[in-house]
């Protein structure tokens, strides 16, 4: 994170604002010019080294002062002596995302960062700062002190300042959006109402900082049915070997025997541009499980694309329970392609899938009904979501103890039953693949799309 600070002390004649210090006080005659310097500092509390979309950052704003000279025209409030010089801060503003470090922000970048309402906290005794997104400028959050102003003596270095307040912001996208390389997003903060009691000076302090989030997220997946899966290694026709163990956030399973290959899942974008990812998922049915410990759970499932839903996880699904990272080659409707090379350091997890019941939009929201444009390496189609009772939730799983972190991972796939138009694999497109389950490769013939799977966050409730 880059931190760039600028501070200004600005002299301005202000009539009538002195009443902010002492309610009901009379308007004072303007004295000769004097100095009035206020500081404000911006920092981030324990920020991630590489922030990404969906991260929430805690912003820390601290308040301080420089020199304040002249004569107290309005008496300072207790606990100060009436003749003490003080600065009274009533409000400040925070600009969420800018293309420059100015205050006020002159080049806003809308839709990249959001304020989290209700996240405010402060260490200023007897004072609470409350933030509100400006109706006139959604990129600006205005913070107002209550029930009184923050009053500070001179020469209070910032940081640490007299006191501080914190709030959270959420990263929505990078600048510019993917696939371009991310650039810094500037943020700035400054006093909007902060005056001294020496009669005629407004104190204006401001500072800027920046964050550089990366939002190159994993793609979605179009999962196609198998029309004629060979189901055996073509060079060594033995059944697929059993898996000794699977373990994820919902259960543990021993001696898992796989049977039919039932899905080929291709990376997909919700646009007219096909992704360049090489990692696919091949879906297997399970014929038997030696022993298992499954714990039903109520979950909140979140993805930025379709919002949140709640559901009861009801047990291992009978519809293609295991999804395995794979490399794939594309052929034609007439010819199988050669077996591709194995994936090198795959980034996708294995996923084990579960049935859900009582699926509802969270907080009364509606469930998604489809996607108007989805493109994968086979073509572009529009998707309609069907039969919510057959939607599946797939948790990252630790296969044969090769990925222990998967057992506590909250990252998974929400798979919507889908129908696509037009069908880009019409006529039975032939493909080949290779993965850990079938290290010598296999071949397949694809039919219609059956599922649209989206990377999601799973939280047990």
Task: Inform me whether the pLDDT recorded for 19 exceeds 70.
Answer: no
Let me know the angle formed at the C-alpha of 49 by 43 and 54, rounded to the nearest 5 degrees: 85
How far is 461 from 458, CA to CA, in rounded Å? 10
Domains of the chain, by residue range, sit at 2-211, 220-460
How far is Cα 86 from Cα 92, in angstroms, rounded to an integer? 17
Query: How confident is the model at residue 104, as a pLDDT?
Result: 93
Q: Which of 271-285, 293-307, 423-437 has the lowest mean pLDDT?
A: 271-285
Query: What's the DSSP call for residue 232?
Result: S
Q: What is the pLDDT of residue 204?
A: 58
314, 341, 403, 408, 435 from 400: Cα distances, Å: 24, 22, 8, 15, 15
Q: Is 125 helix (H, G, I), strand (E, B) or coil?
A: coil
- Please give the average per-residue pLDDT across 181-190, as a whole number: 93
d(CA 456, CA 461): 16
Closest by CA to 147, choosing from 117, 131, 126, 122, is: 126
CA-to-CA separations, 258 to 286, 431, 438, in angstroms, rounded = 4, 20, 11
Residue 306 phi/psi, 5° resolution? -120, 5
| pLDDT of 398 | 95
Residue 2 has pLDDT above 50, yes or no: no
Q: Which of 20-24, 184-188, 293-297 has the weakest average pLDDT?
A: 20-24
| Residue-level pLDDT at 310 | 96
Banded model confidence at residue 25, pLDDT cuts 50, 70, 90: very low
Specify the CATH architecture of the domain 2-211. Sandwich (2.60)
Residues 374 and 381: beta-carbon distance below 8 Å: yes
> Which of 148, 152, 165 lies closest to 65 in space, CA to CA?
152
User: Could you tell me the two tokens for 390?
Assistant: 């057959």
Position 3 scores a pLDDT of 39
pLDDT of residue 215: 76
Structure-model confidence comparison of residues 203 and 437, the more confident one: 437
Residue 229 confidence class, pLDDT cut points 50, 70, 90: low
The phi-psi region of residue 54 (left if phi > 0; otherwise alpha if psi is between -120 and 50; otherwise beta) is: left
pLDDT of residue 201: 59
Residue 98 neighbours by CB under 8 Å, 6+ apart = 105, 106, 107, 108, 109, 139, 185, 186, 187, 188
46-62 mean pLDDT:
88
Stretch 237-249: mean pLDDT? 76
Q: Is 405 helix (H, G, I), strand (E, B) or coil?
A: helix
DSSP labels for 34-98? --EEEEEEEEEES--SS-BTT-EEEEEEEEEEEEE-S--SSPPPTTS-TT---EEEEEEEEEEEE
* Residue 396, beta-bridge partner list: 351
pLDDT for res 181:
80
Is the per-residue pLDDT at 265 higher than 70? yes
Q: Which pLDDT band holds residue 235 (cuts at 50, 70, 90)?
A: very low
* pLDDT tens readout for residues 305-329: 788 999 999 999 998 999 999 999 9
Report the mean per-residue pLDDT for the chain: 86
The β-bridge partners of 297 are 313
Joined tokens for residue 73: 């025209």
Report the pLDDT averaged over residues 412-418. 96
Identify whether the C-beta of residue 341 lies closer than 8 Å to the C-beta of residue 329. no
DSSP string, 279-314: -EEEEEEEEEEEEEEE--EEEEEEETTTEEEEEEEE
pLDDT at 32 over 90: no
């Amino acid at each position: 994170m880059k931190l760039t600070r600028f501070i200004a002390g600005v002299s301005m004649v202000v009539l009538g604002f002195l009443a902010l210090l002492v309610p009901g006080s009379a308007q004072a005659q303007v004295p000769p010019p004097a100095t009035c310097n206020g500081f404000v500092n911006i920092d981030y509390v324990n920020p991630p080294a590489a922030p990404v979309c969906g991260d929430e950052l805690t912003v820390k704003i601290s308040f301080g002062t420089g020199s304040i000279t002249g004569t107290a025209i309005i008496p300072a409030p207790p606990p100060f002596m009436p003749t003490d010089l003080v600065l009274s801060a009533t409000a400040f503003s925070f600009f969420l995302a800018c293309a420059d470090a100015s205050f006020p922000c002159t080049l806003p970048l809308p839709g990249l960062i959001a304020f989290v309402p209700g996240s405010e906290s402060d260490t200023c005794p007897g004072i609470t700062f409350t933030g509100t997104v400006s109706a006139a400028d959604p990129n600006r959050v205005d913070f107002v002190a209550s029930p009184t102003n923050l009053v500070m003596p001179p020469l209070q270095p910032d940081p640490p300042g007299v006191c501080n307040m914190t709030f959270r912001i959420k990263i929505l996208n990078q600048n510019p959006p993917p696939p371009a390389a991310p650039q810094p997003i500037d943020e700035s903060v400054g006093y909007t109402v902060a005056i001294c009691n020496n009669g005629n000076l407004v104190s204006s302090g401001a500072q800027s900082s920046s964050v550089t989030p990366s939002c190159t997220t994993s793609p979605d997946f179009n999962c196609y049915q198998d029309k004629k899966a060979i189901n055996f290694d073509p060079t060594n026709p033995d059944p697929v070997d059993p898996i000794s163990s699977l373990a994820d956030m919902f259960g543990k399973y021993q001696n898992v025997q796989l049977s039919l290959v039932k899905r080929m899942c291709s990376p997909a974008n919700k646009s007219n541009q096909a992704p360049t990812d090489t990692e696919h998922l091949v879906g297997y049915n399970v014929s038997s499980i030696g022993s298992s410990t499954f714990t039903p759970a109520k979950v909140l499932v979140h993805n930025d694309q379709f919002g949140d839903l709640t559901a009861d996880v009801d047990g291992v699904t009978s519809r293609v329970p295991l999804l395995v990272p794979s490399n794939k080659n594309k052929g034609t409707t007439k010819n199988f392609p050669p077996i591709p090379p194995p994936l090198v350091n795959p980034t996708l997890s294995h996923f084990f899938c579960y049935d859900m019941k009582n699926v509802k939009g969270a907080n009364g929201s509606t469930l998604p009904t489809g996607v108007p444009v989805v493109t994968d390496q086979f073509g572009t189609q529009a998707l309609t979501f069907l039969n919510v009772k057959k939607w599946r939730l797939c948790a990252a799983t630790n296969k044969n103890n090769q990925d222990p972190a998967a057992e506590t991972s909250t990252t998974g796939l929400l798979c919507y039953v889908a129908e696509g138009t037009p069908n880009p694999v019409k006529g039975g497109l032939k493909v080949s693949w290779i993965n850990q389950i079938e290290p010598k490769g296999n071949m397949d013939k694809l039919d219609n799309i059956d599922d649209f799977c989206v990377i999601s966050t799973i939280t047990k409730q």
